[in-house]
Amino acid sequence: MDLSTAREKLLLLKENVEKVILGKSEQVELSIIALITGGQLLIEDVPGVGKTMLARALSLSIDGAFKRIQFTPDLLPSDITGVNIYNQKTEAFEFHPGPIFAHIVLADEINRATPRTQSSLLEAMDEGQVSVDGVARMLPKPFFVIATQNPIEYHGTYPLPEGQLDRFCMCISLEYPSRSFEREVVERQLLRHPIHDLRPVLTVEDVLELQELAHRQKVDGSLVDYATRIVEETRADERLILGASPRGSIFLLRTSQSRALLFGRDYVTPDDIKQLAVPVLAHRVLPKLRRRGLASNAEIIRDILNRVPVPVD
């Protein structure tokens, strides 16, 4: 696949998803970048703004298998990964895969499950496999987790630990639609939800090829220095008690490669890094004064961007 074809396919994917997710062009773009990067996505927002529809629209658009896991306090790790069940006829144990075995998995309200259940996702997110009774089983490729959590409601929730937050490629918020877009959403759904008319525009093989192509986009050494300097500044900022990890530097550059591909370039620019710094880094840092949501973290990341010199040609 050449650069021009890749851009056409990515724009076609974006256009198709936006038939369902109206007025959220930037968020759809970021979701596609996360998918092409091969990372996982965390959406932190209130109920009813389209988190589930975004996940379903992406899966339908790439003709991939979609599974939704509703996280609750009584959910067990085996409810996610699967379990071995004894078959009396064959006198052998048979593996029954859990809902994690899909191309796109919606982990809905992930912070409602216990830490033990939350941790069952770690191996899948990191290595693309799950281990059940000592046997490692590979997950389908591509494998993309979209996890959601409500930033307002804290009763009965188990906040994700920093180590698990760090494993998400990006964290975004869909936010409420504008009045005009909300009106259009309501009118379009009075008779039939547009998700039912969505058709695939890519295949999972296309996605794998796009992922491979994204990883080959050129990154100049000065941009590697720029990205790592931004991350280093998060560790030195006096407003933070925890800065971003090296995983943050890696994802900042990898997502920049995917953004370059989306915009039809075979090289990364400083603007790619600047545009992705907040969604990639804001959820990885821990401020001294905890506030609800990511707004304060985002402000700190923007301040850091303003003081780190941008490399020039």
Q: What is the CATH number of the domain that holds 290?
A: 1.10.8.80
Above 60 in pLDDT, residue 72?
A: yes
Q: Kindly state whether residue 296 falls inside one of the protein's structural domains.
A: yes
Burial class from Cβ neighbours inside 10 Å (0-12, 13-18, 19+) for residue 187 reads exposed
- Residues 65 and 149 reside in one and the same domain: yes
Q: Which of 193, 223, 253 is the last residue of a domain?
A: 193
pLDDT, tens digit (0-9, with 9 covering 90-100), for 148-161 = 987 766 666 777 87
The answer to whether the Cα torsion of 160, 161, 165, 167 is positive or negative is: negative
CA of residue 263 relative to chain centroid, distance = 19
What type of residue is 198?
A: L
Token digits for 255? Answer: 């997502």
Q: Kindly state whether residue 7 falls inside one of the protein's structural domains.
A: no
What is the model's pLDDT at position 112? 85
Q: Kindly state whether residue 198 falls inside one of the protein's structural domains.
A: no
Above 50 in pLDDT, residue 46?
A: yes
Closest by Cα among 105, 62, 104 to 200: 62
Above 50 in pLDDT, residue 219?
A: yes
- Residues 53 and 140 reside in one and the same domain: yes
Q: Kindly state whether residue 57 falls inside one of the protein's structural domains.
A: yes
What is the model's pLDDT at position 290? 60
Residue range of the domain that includes 250: 215-307
What is the model's pLDDT at position 287? 86
- Residues 161 and 228 reside in one and the same domain: no
Report the b/e string of 273-290 with b at 16+ CB within 10 A: bbbbbbbbbbbbbeeeee
Number of domains into which the chain is organized = 2
- Residues 105 and 172 reside in one and the same domain: yes
Q: Lowest mean pLDDT: which of 29-43, 58-72, 121-135?
A: 121-135
Q: Which residue has the higher pLDDT, 214 or 197?
A: 214
- Residues 157 and 252 reside in one and the same domain: no
What is the model's pLDDT at position 156? 61
**What pTM, to 2 d.p., does this model score?**
0.90
What is the model's pLDDT at position 182? 80
Closest by Cα among 291, 254, 290 to 273: 254
Measured CA to CA, the distance from residue 95 to residue 86 in angstroms comes to 9
Q: Kindly state whether residue 154 falls inside one of the protein's structural domains.
A: yes
What band does 270 get if pLDDT is binned at 50, 70 and 90?
very high
- Residues 222 and 269 reside in one and the same domain: yes
Mean pLDDT of 105-134: 86
38, 208 contact by CB (below 8 A)? no
What band does 3 get if pLDDT is binned at 50, 70 and 90?
confident
CA of residue 283 relative to chain centroid, distance = 12
Q: Lowest mean pLDDT: which of 136-150, 189-203, 207-221?
A: 189-203
17, 64 contact by CB (below 8 A)? no
Q: Kindly state whether residue 63 falls inside one of the protein's structural domains.
A: yes
Burial class from Cβ neighbours inside 10 Å (0-12, 13-18, 19+) for residue 174 reads buried
CATH number of the domain within which 62 lies = 3.40.50.300
Q: Which conformational region is residue 65 in: left (phi greater than 0), alpha (psi within -120 to 50 degrees), or beta?
A: beta
- Residues 32 and 149 reside in one and the same domain: yes
Closest by Cα among 169, 199, 194 to 32: 169
What is the model's pLDDT at position 134? 82
Q: Kindly state whether residue 86 falls inside one of the protein's structural domains.
A: yes
Closest by Cα among 130, 134, 133 to 105: 130
Q: Kindly state whether residue 205 falls inside one of the protein's structural domains.
A: no
- Residues 146 and 45 reside in one and the same domain: yes
- Residues 33 and 137 reside in one and the same domain: yes
CA of residue 184 relative to chain centroid, distance = 27
What is the model's pLDDT at position 292? 46
Residue 151: CB atoms within 10 Å? 14
- Residues 43 and 184 reside in one and the same domain: yes
- Residues 227 and 165 reside in one and the same domain: no
Q: Lowest mean pLDDT: which of 114-118, 156-160, 263-267?
A: 156-160
Mean pLDDT of 182-200: 82
Q: Which of 193, 226, 247 is the last residue of a domain?
A: 193
Mean pLDDT of 297-312: 91
Q: Which of 162, 193, 224 is the last residue of a domain?
A: 193
Residue 132: CB atoms within 10 Å? 17
What band does 291 get if pLDDT is binned at 50, 70 and 90?
low
Residue 192: CB atoms within 10 Å? 9
